[in-house]
Amino acid sequence: MVTLEIQGLSKAFGDRVLFKNLNFRVESGQCLVVTGRNGSGKTTLLRIIAGLVRPTRGRVLICDENGVMDRSRLRRNLGIVAPDLVLYDELTALENLVLFARLRGLDGGPEAAKRTLEKVGLCERAGDLVATFSSGMKQRLKYAFAIQHSPSVLLLDEPTSNLDEQGVDMVRRVVSEQKERGVLVVATNDPEERSYGEQFLHLG
């Protein structure tokens, strides 16, 4: 069982308050969908949950059977797909994934990376430079990066952005598998993507 709990969370940039005193709890098998106008703080909230941005007030608690995860354990148990996720254009898709796996301390090497690329429909392009990829292919590679370690918490920011219908089907499979494995948080205003959720949070 994994739980994500937000307690009294607020974020401001100077005098501009994005959100104030958020409280919610999401458990394994559930998806929280975060909606709101552009600039309302959806992406910032996901980055706070991921430990990439500090909140102004409040705290984020991600727990499993061993208790609250510290930063090191969170890195091994969390995946994120976001527009600003950096991929290395000068490396191949396979090299990108192997590099990210090593940074996470994962075993498996190229063979494990190929299996992950197959899940997102990129196995045939494993040896191609990312610089040659379309925006949709890069989005698929971001999914490979996010799920290669079977995270217990997965954060998706505009999950079907730049994807064709086959890519959208891939996202649906990822969503279904994540609900079986742990917690999912989706930031979106897309009606189709809202259907992933059991819980909803509107910002702004």
Query: Per-residue pLDDT tens for 23-62?
Result: 999 999 999 999 999 999 999 999 999 999 999 999 999 9
The secondary structure element, H or E, covering residue 32 is: strand 31-36
Query: Per-residue pLDDT tens for 151-163?
Result: 999 999 999 999 9
Q: Where are the domains of the chain?
A: 3-203
CATH topology of domain 3-203: Rossmann fold (3.40.50)
Mean pLDDT value across residues 106-119: 90
Q: Which pLDDT does position 104 carry in this prediction?
A: 83
Distance CA 155, CA 152 (A): 10
pTM of the model: 0.95
Distance CA 112, CA 163 (A): 24
Distance CA 43, CA 36 (A): 10
